[in-house]
Amino acid sequence: MIDEVVARYPAMAEAASREATSGWFRGTALSDAHRRHRSFKFQPSLSRDLIERFRDHYLSGIGIEVTDYAIGKAEILKAQPFQKFPYTKLIPNAGYSDALQAEFDAELSQIDPAQVPLFLRTVEDGIDCGGAKGVCVAEGRLIICSRFSIRMAARAVRTVSMLETLDDRPATVLELGGGFGKTLADLMIWSGAETAIYVDMPLNMALAARYLDAVFPERVNLVWAETDRLRDGNINILAPWLLAEKMDRPVDVMLNFLSLQHMQADSQAYYFDSLIRHRTRHLYHENRLEPRDETEGALRDTRFRSEGQLVESRLLNVPWFANAKGETMQNEALAIWAELIRY
Ligand SMILES: C[S@@+](CC[C@H](N)C(=O)[O-])C[C@H]1O[C@@H](n2cnc3c(N)ncnc32)[C@H](O)[C@@H]1O
C-alpha cells in the first residue's frame, strides 16, 4: 500500500488542486492567508519516509495536537510543516510517562465499567503513526498508547454509547474529515463494519491509507481517479471531488469529528447533497455549531440539522478564555456538541 500511495499521490494532489474551486473546497472564496494555510493539505508530493513513519514529522490538521509530539515547546514553535523532528535523545520526553499515566487514569476513571474493554482496546496504539508513544499500566497490563490515543479512546466510548441506541450495528460507515483514520478504525473494529468510506483532503487521504492498511491489511482501496470504483468489503479512500460520480451506495452511519465546523457554507452544502441526501441513515458528529470566523459556515443552520431528526444532542465541551479584566470566562458560542441525527 505504501508503494501505491507514494506512486499515485502526485497525480491525485494535482487533480485536487485542479478541482479546488468546486464545492468540496471552494478555494477561490478564501482569503490569501486562509488559502495559504490550507495549501499544506495539497502538498504536491510526499516522501516514502513521511508516509511510512509520519509520527516523526510535524503535521497539523490530522488530529494530532502540538503537545502530542512530546517535544519542547521551543522546538515546536520552530518546526516547519513536514519537517522531521531531530529526535536525538529522550530529554524532551522527560515526565511524559507520568503525564500520560495521569491522563490515562483520569479518562479511565470516568468510563462506565461496561465500556472499559472498548477503552482498553482502542487506547492501544502500537503503530508508527501519529505522535509520541509511551507505556501505561492498567489492570496489570502494559499498554502502548499516546495522549492522542487516550483522547481517541474516550471518543470511541462516547460514540459507541450513542450508536448502541441504533437497532443494528452499522455495516457501511463513512467518515468525512477523518484525520489519519484512527477513529474510523476504532469504530470499524467495534461495529464489525464490512465496508467503509473515508473522505478527506489529499494529505489526509494518503496518511489514512497508510494507517488503515496497517490496521486492516489488504483492505484499503484508493478511489482517486476516474478508473477507480468503490468496493464492498474494503476501506475505500474516496476523493471528495469524485463523490457525484462514485458514491453509489447507501451508508448506515456517517461520522464527522471537529471537521464540518471548519468548512465554508458551500462545502457543508456540497457534502450534505453528495453524502447525506437520499443516502445516509444516521449522522453522528462532534462539532461546534457556531462559526469561529468568516470562512466557516454555521453548522447549526445547515440541512444536516434541519432535514434530519435530532435523536440526541449533548454538550461536550465549552472552551474558556480570559476577558479584558483577566477573568476566565466560558465561551458558550464556541461550545462543542455531540449529536446523533436520523434521516
Ligand atoms: C481539525 S481536523 C479533525 C481531524 C479528526 N476528525 C479528529 O477529530 O481528530 C479537521 C479534518 O477535516 C478535514 N477537512 C477540512 N476541510 C475539509 C474539506 N473541505 N473536505 C474534506 N475534508 C476536510 C481536514 O483535512 C481534517 O482531517
Mind listing the domains of the chain with CATH numbers? 46-153 (no CATH), 166-342 (3.40.50.150)
pLDDT 10s digits, 8-25: 999 999 999 999 999 999
> How confident is the model at residue 94, as a pLDDT?
62
Asked whether 20 and 27 are in contact (CB, 8 A), the reply is yes
The least confident of 62-76, 102-116, 270-284 is 62-76
Residue 66 Cα to ligand 1 middle (Å): 16
> How confident is the model at residue 31, as a pLDDT?
81
* Gap between the Cα atoms of 224 and 73, Å rounded: 37
> How confident is the model at residue 88, as a pLDDT?
64
Probe ligand 1: pick from 26, 175, 201, max atoms within 8 Å of CB? 201
> Residue 289: pLDDT above 80?
yes
Q: Which phi and psi (to 5°) does residue 301 adopt?
A: -100, 10
> How confident is the model at residue 7, as a pLDDT?
97
Average pLDDT estimate for 118-125: 95
The least confident of 134-143, 183-192, 232-241, 253-262 is 134-143
Nearest CA to ligand 1 atom 5: 179
> How confident is the model at residue 40, as a pLDDT?
85
pLDDT 10s digits, 171-185: 999 999 999 999 999
* Gap between the Cα atoms of 64 and 32, Å rounded: 25
Residue 258 Cα to ligand 1 middle (Å): 7
- For 186-205, letters b (16+ CB in 10 Å) and e give bbbebbebebbbbbbbbbbb
The least confident of 120-129, 182-191, 258-267, 308-317 is 120-129
> Residue 343: pLDDT above 80?
yes
> Residue 91: pLDDT above 70?
no
Whole-number average pLDDT of the chain: 92
| pTM across the whole model | 0.94
**Nearest ligand 1 atom, CA 286:** 8
> How confident is the model at residue 256, as a pLDDT?
98
Residue 138 Cα to ligand 1 middle (Å): 32
In the numeric block, which cell numbers belong to residue 265?
A: 457554507
- Considering only residues 100 and 323, tell me which one the structure prediction assigns the higher pLDDT: 100
Q: How far is CA 206 from the centre of its chain?
A: 13
**Nearby residues of 113 by Cβ (< 8 Å), 6 or more positions away:** none
Tell me the torsion sign for CA atoms 150, 151, 156, 162: positive
> Residue 90: pLDDT above 60?
no
Residue 99 Cα to ligand 1 middle (Å): 27
> How confident is the model at residue 89, as a pLDDT?
58
> Residue 222: pLDDT above 90?
yes
Which one of 50-59, 68-77, 134-143, 215-224 scores highest in mean pLDDT? 215-224
> Residue 97: pLDDT above 60?
yes
Question: Taking CB atoms and a 6 Å cutoff, what residues make up the pocket around ligand 1?
Answer: 24-25, 41, 61, 63, 177-179, 200-201, 204, 240, 257-259, 262-263, 267
Share of residues in the chain with pLDDT > 70 (%): 97
> Residue 93: pLDDT above 70?
no
> Residue 111: pLDDT above 60?
yes
CA dist list (Å): 173 to 113, 233, 327: 26, 11, 44
